Amino acid sequence: MSARDSSFDGSFDRSFDREHLWHPYTSMTAPLPAFEVASASGVRIRLGDGRELIDGMASWWCVIHGYNHPELNRAIEAQLARTAHVMFGGLTHEPAIALGKQLVALTPEPLQHVFFSDSGSVAVEVAIKMALQYWQARGQPGKHRLLTVRGGYHGDTFGAMAVCDPVNGMHRLFSGVLPAHLFAPRPATRFGEPLKAGDLDAFEALIATHREELAAVILEPIVQGAGGMWFYAADYLRGVAELCRRHAVLLIADEIATGFGRTGRLFACEHAGIDPDILCLGKALTGGYLSLAATLATTDVAEGISASGGVLMHGPTFMANPLATAVAGRSIELLLASPWQQRIAAIEAQLRRELGVCAVHPAVADVRVLGGIGVVETREPVDVAALQELFVARGVWIRPFGRLIYLMPPYVIDPADLTRLTQAVGAALAAIEES
């Protein structure tokens, strides 16, 4: 098809996809396989060739209610009949107001102000801007750096990349142009264990030494996601929060992956009983229907930035999109009305039983389970393309990366389907051993 030829017959053109569409974290000269999706419903993705896959990824952790949910469909349809989009600059609308009320009511009490954006990465960008502008407004522009822990992942935009793990993360190529922030060692104490002696010492030394230049600490509470799927102790998180208060440094909690029940609590901060100054939400916010994120801040942060006429310097075109905010509000209602805690507890128990046996496999370094997250860490990086073909052949959708084969299924998955997923992980380990 030439640049001037706009004809389109509606057929699936695999060669065009392979030659022209750039998928996430892939090469255009050696692309990973991409499977055509014809439809999806419940926990199943139906491919164009008729095969069905049980989804173990919840489409990168956001489709918590399953696909094609009638209540979420109706929320979209009802809002579509009113308006699909309107700018949020100088205008407002009921779905945004209603969703803001829900978020303020559900998150820790000090968080009273909501800024909507388009994606998780942008929510982190906004959080960083909030922290920097807060200290500028207070006459302390020297507080301009961030402190975090190694093994973290906060997004793919430049501000977010700068606080991802600088060595083992996905953004080493950009290290020369990213701001130089501070990194403490990854917490060694596992979730559910008392804090190991000395585990917080390096973090404490960094925050004490650099307090005059630190605007904020940013971390993923309890669960480090795409940076390594590591689950760490609530005592460590409590210690970090206390050190932030002691040294007058803001605390940003990135709950984009953990928010809305994934760890067994509505928000992972609840495991440690902490109240961050700024909170980032995304992924499951809309139940996987549309891209939407939110950054919440305390009144101290919001009024500090706004003192003397200051304004927060961010304004996405699709901020608070009516379709997205409408479906997000309904998704939260569905979650709260469902037995989500029992569902997550049942998923966790089954993952512990069925993935736990993988721990003795010679190719496995570690097995970790928390809430609706199950992780098998291998000793060597996996062949993603080969395992993807194996999983699809077994009728499941699992997307490994690096040395991690992990499951984060929709909350509504039944035990038989979850067993299909865990058995597929076992088959992948057998294939690794044979190769």
Per DSSP, the three-state class of 278 is strand
Q: Which of 118, 156, 254, 417 is catalytic?
A: 254
Output Rg (C-alpha) for the chain, integer angstroms.
Answer: 22
The helix (H) or strand (E) run that includes residue 201 is: helix 201-209
Nearest residue to 221 via CA among 253, 266, 184: 253
257 vs 241: CA distance, rounded Å: 20
**Residues for the chain: how many in total?**
435
Q: Is-catalytic flag, 25?
A: yes
Active-site residue, from 118, 283, 289, 417: 283
DSSP per residue over 140-164, as a string? -TT--EEEEETT----SSHHHHTTS
Q: Are 228 and 219 in contact (CB under 8 A)?
A: no
Sheet holding 404-407, edge to edge: 364-370, 373-378, 404-407
- Cβ atoms of 223 and 408 within 8 Å: the answer is no
Residue 283 annotated in active site? yes
Q: Active-site residue 196, yes or no?
A: no
**Residue 254 annotated to the active site:** yes
Task: Name the catalytic one among 153, 232, 236, 411.
Answer: 153
Catalytic residues: 25, 153, 254, 283
